[in-house]
Amino acid sequence: MNRADSFGGSCPVPLGDQPCIKLAHGGGGRLMQQLIEEVFIAAFDNAVLRGGHDGAILDLQNGRTVVTTDSFVVRPLFFPGGDIGTLAINGTVNDLAMCGAKPLFLTSSFILEEGLEIETLWRVVQSMRKAADAAGVLIVTGDTKVVERGHGDGIYINTTGIGCVDHSLFVSPPRIATGDTILVSGDIGRHGMAVMGTREGLAFTTQIESDCAPLWSTVEALLEAGLEIHCLRDATRGGLCSVLNELAQDASLQFDVVENDVPVMPNVRGACEVLGLDVLQVACEGRFVAILPKNESVLALEILKAQNEFAAMIGHVSSAQAGLVTLQTPIGSQRILDMPAGELLPRIC
């Protein structure tokens, strides 16, 4: 109680010059990071929370249990390659997989808007069931709330996942080491562009399907090959750019990435160019970054390619400058790849 009492009644951190919540506070970029650090972590501070990875490893009986939570507010609810239901399952399952945990159980909680068609909800719930089956998880409990017409967007979903770690690796940022290779599990940017294209009614993006998919089987294949995985992180909000910056910061190491080696589909690249978006900042929902020792990177790539032919090695880790991410551009120059502010693509998950 001492700690709680010491907070007092007023907000000590006005988040710089931000008196109000902006869309960017949910955008996976710097502002969200600031909000989490200065408001939530400051208030909830404890050792498990400070672990700071995608999920919390709990000291339950024997074995390591991992729990992770995510709310989904994607707009529109349906997009090429998935819907909010697919996303709500895969997003949380993937957060568990990124901790090296086999996904076991999910909770699901709905905030529904008055006036939502039951048919729409039904379709979403079917997608959830199919995605849960495909990912091998059980949805074990849930909750439903309804808000008045105009106070929601049809459906918001929270899923919380529980998984178990049955190997001895601690897959987490502090394990990243100088000389490690950085790989990506497939072509990037499809999810964000699929949602964006549907939302804005952009004809030239209609062939772009979301990459939304469960990632545990790929992670399991890497683990079963006996690879010493140092870190995994799915490239969701803020895209590859956010993930690389987060991990470089958490590991206090420098990441050097070669832009030409980052796999991007031509239609995704074209759509990004037309819209003036940096594809490195566009969210995926079925792609992850894997970081492991250089001498294991060829085998790792082989395993990743068996699942997705566009998997690639995109860079390596050095000790030059803690927290820095550099990008070698196609013309050979090197630039700093900074953390995105988060305003780019709201409501994509």
Please tell me the distance from the alpha carbon of residue 18 to that of residue 31, in angstroms, as a whole number.
Answer: 9
Please tell me the distance from the alpha carbon of residue 79 to that of residue 76, in angstroms, as a whole number.
Answer: 7
- Is the separation of the CB atoms in 103 and 161 below 8 Å? yes
Task: State how far the alpha carbon of 94 is from the alpha carbons of 16, 98, 102, 137, in Å.
Answer: 33, 6, 10, 12
**Using rule CB under 8 A, residue 288 touches a second copy:** no
Q: Which is nearer to a second copy, 92 or 326 (CB)?
A: 92
E strand or H helix that includes residue 220: helix 216-224
Stretch touching a second copy by CB under 8 A, among 133-141, 178-186, 192-200, 332-340: 133-141
**Using rule CB under 8 A, residue 22 touches a second copy:** yes
Q: Which is nearer to a second copy, 146 or 177 (CB)?
A: 146
Q: Which of 14, 204, 320, 336 binds a second copy (CB under 8 A)?
A: 14
Stretch touching a second copy by CB under 8 A, among 21-29, 194-202, 208-216, 293-301: 21-29
**Using rule CB under 8 A, residue 347 touches a second copy:** yes
**Using rule CB under 8 A, residue 65 touches a second copy:** yes
Q: Which is nearer to a second copy, 76 or 179 (CB)?
A: 76
Stretch touching a second copy by CB under 8 A, among 147-155, 198-206, 214-222, 284-292: 147-155
Q: How many Cα atoms within 13 Å fall on the side-chain side of residue 297?
A: 21
Query: Of the candidates 83, 73, 82, 155, which has an alpha carbon nearest to the alpha carbon of residue 113?
Result: 155
Residue whose entry in the numeric block shows the structure tokens 């090695």: 313
Q: Closest separation between CB of residue 105 and a second copy, Å?
A: 6
Q: Closest separation between CB of residue 134 and a second copy, Å?
A: 7
Q: Which of 44, 274, 298, 322 binds a second copy (CB under 8 A)?
A: 44
Binding-site residue total for a second copy (CB under 8 A)?
96
- Is the separation of the CB atoms in 66 and 216 below 8 Å? no
Q: Which of 148, 226, 330, 332 binds a second copy (CB under 8 A)?
A: 148
Q: Which two tokens stand for residue 284?
A: 């995926």
Q: Which of 46, 260, 329, 334 binds a second copy (CB under 8 A)?
A: 46
**Using rule CB under 8 A, residue 37 touches a second copy:** no
User: In the range 158-177, which residues lie near a second copy by CB under 8 A?
Assistant: 158, 160, 162, 164
**DSSP per position, 46-81:** -HHHHT-SSSEEE--SSSEEEEEEEEE--SSSEETT
Stretch touching a second copy by CB under 8 A, among 131-139, 196-204, 253-261, 268-276: 131-139
Q: Which of 151, 178, 322, 335 binds a second copy (CB under 8 A)?
A: 151
**Using rule CB under 8 A, residue 217 touches a second copy:** no
Q: Closest separation between CB of residue 182 and a second copy, Å?
A: 25
Pairing of strands 334-336, 288-292: unpaired
Q: Which two tokens stand for residue 120?
A: 């729409």
User: In the range 67-126, which residues lie near a second copy by CB under 8 A?
Assistant: 67-73, 104-105, 107-119, 121-123, 125-126
Supply the DSSP symbol for 339. P
What is the Cα 262 distance to its own chain's centre?
A: 17
* End-to-end Cα separation, the chain, in angstroms: 36
**Using rule CB under 8 A, residue 139 touches a second copy:** yes
**Using rule CB under 8 A, residue 61 touches a second copy:** yes
**What are phi and psi for residue 22, nearest 5 degrees?**
-115, 165
